[in-house]
Amino acid sequence: MSFTLTEERAELRRTVRGFFEKTSPEETVRRLMDTDSGFDADAWKQMAGQLGLHQLAVPEEFGGAGYTFVELGLALEEAGRALVCMPFFSTIVLAANVVLSSNDEQAKKEILPALAGGETTATLAFTEPSGRWDEAGITMRATGTGTGWTLTGEKTFVLDGHTADLVLVAARTESGISLFAVDGDAPGLTRSPMHTLDPTRKQARLVFADVPARLIGQEGSGGPILAHVLDLAAVALATEAVGGAQRCLDMAVEYAKTRVQFGRPIGSFQAIKHKCADLVLEVESARSAAYHALWAAAEDDTQLPVAAAMAKSYCTEAFTQAAADNIQIHGGIGFTWEHPAHLYFRRAKSTELLLGDPAYHRELLVQRLGL
């Protein structure tokens, strides 16, 4: 398989962009980020029913369309461009891939069709108050009851955790890291929204007090599954970042063409020209890194761990740089909360830190290359 933007893929991109332009304009983003749920349920159903975005990377036997991570990545890039407020990343990138990677056929049959159909929202809860984004940070204990399992502990920075219908949880048993499914309204589960830098991507704190849970896959098999899913999530975030960075570049260039100072457009000044030129280089380099990682994810290639770490570190930094330069080119208006440049800067910083900052992923890259 090669990453070629075929006519089918180009049409997918055009269709998704058109849909998000209608359902996620700036005024809608601002309205949704101030709500408790953070998304529009009707638009969510349209994404699944009319566009079939939820089904893209889910096998046909489980209600999906049987495409690859490449097609999903194109949709994610457009979602990042439009700052889409939806539990798409948490449901389709995180939760669906946990189930797909679990080798638990019963769980796949029970969970995936509802996710692919847009009937159920889901997320993955693995980060704890320590703030670590890896397996070593998981201390939550799962206790066997003879008839099932219960979970006790706390999870933080759970994407869409306060609204998800289903929460997949990483916890420790005597056999090691294991994965569990918990209903969003399960007894003993307390869910609280967190106040974070980026209000367009909701996060929550979840407290478990003897919460009943269902084992996903085999006990003790969760470590490799979690590592693989986090690599896929890093690729997805990198791709989202490329979409956001491209939008920041487009906004900056458009403003440089129309804003007049000293009798001529500011884009004619050398300093602005150089800043825009540097941004083009950053965005295109980020796109190359993200697309290579998408290819590796689609192939389930041995290159995925390296490609994921490289893409996450480079692309998210490029997004932050693009968002900051966009504000600088806009000048005073770009610093105000009323301007969309501010929304993109907040999303860029949160994306840069989510799943580990660039320094963390560069360290992973060095380790994975054996340097």
211 and 179, same structural domain? Answer: yes
Query: Are 321 and 248 members of one domain?
Result: yes
Do residues 266 and 363 both lie within one domain? yes
Domain at 294, CATH number: 1.20.140.10
CATH of the domain at 107: 1.10.540.10
pLDDT at residue 263, as a whole number: 86
Whether 64 is in a domain gets the answer yes
Q: In this structure, is residue 2 part of a structural domain?
A: no
- Given 116, 142, 170, the domain boundary residue is 116
Tell me which residue of 105, 352, 122 sits closest to 229, measured CA to CA. Answer: 122
Q: What is the structure's pLDDT at 191?
A: 98
**Residue entry with tokens 């930094």:** 317
pLDDT of residue 116: 96
Question: To 10 degrees, the CA torsion angle through 134, 53, 112, 145?
Answer: 40
pLDDT of residue 2: 55
Do residue 348 and residue 215 come from a single domain?
Answer: no
To which H or E segment does residue 108 belong? helix 105-116
Do 176 and 247 belong together in one domain? no
* Same domain, residue pair 140 and 57: no
The phi and psi torsions of 303 (rounded to 5 degrees) equal -80, -10
Of the candidates 165, 152, 322, the residue with the CA atom closest to the CA atom of residue 240? 322
- Both 127 and 155 in one domain: the answer is yes
Do 235 and 211 sit in the same domain of this protein?
no
Residue 21 belongs to some domain of the structure = yes
pTM: 0.96
Last residue of a domain, one of 116, 150, 182: 116
Count Cβ atoms within 10 A of the Cβ of residue 326 and give its class: 0-12 exposed, 13-18 middle, 19 or more buried. buried
What is the predicted pLDDT for the residue at 360?
A: 97
With contact defined as beta carbons under 8 Å apart, do 241 and 345 qualify?
Answer: no
Residues 204 and 193 in one domain: yes
Q: Is 315 exposed, middle or buried (0-12, 13-18, 19+ CB in 10 A)?
A: buried
**Residues 146 and 109 both lie in one domain:** no
Residue 234 sits at the vertex; the CA angle it makes with 125 and 186, to the nearest 5 degrees, is 15
Domain assignment present for 290: yes
Same domain for 239 and 156: no
CA within 13 Å, CB half, 230: 20
Is the same domain home to 201 and 248?
Answer: no
Domain stop point among 221, 254, 282: 221
- Residue 67 belongs to what domain range? 7-116
Residues whose CB is less than 8 angstroms from the CB of residue 105 and which lie 6 or more positions away in sequence, other chains included? none
State the total domains in the chain: 3
- Tell me which amino acid residue 348 is: A
Q: Do residues 111 and 166 touch, judged by C-beta distance below 8 A?
A: yes
**Residue ranges of the chain whose pLDDT lies below 70:** 1-4
* Domain contains 146: yes
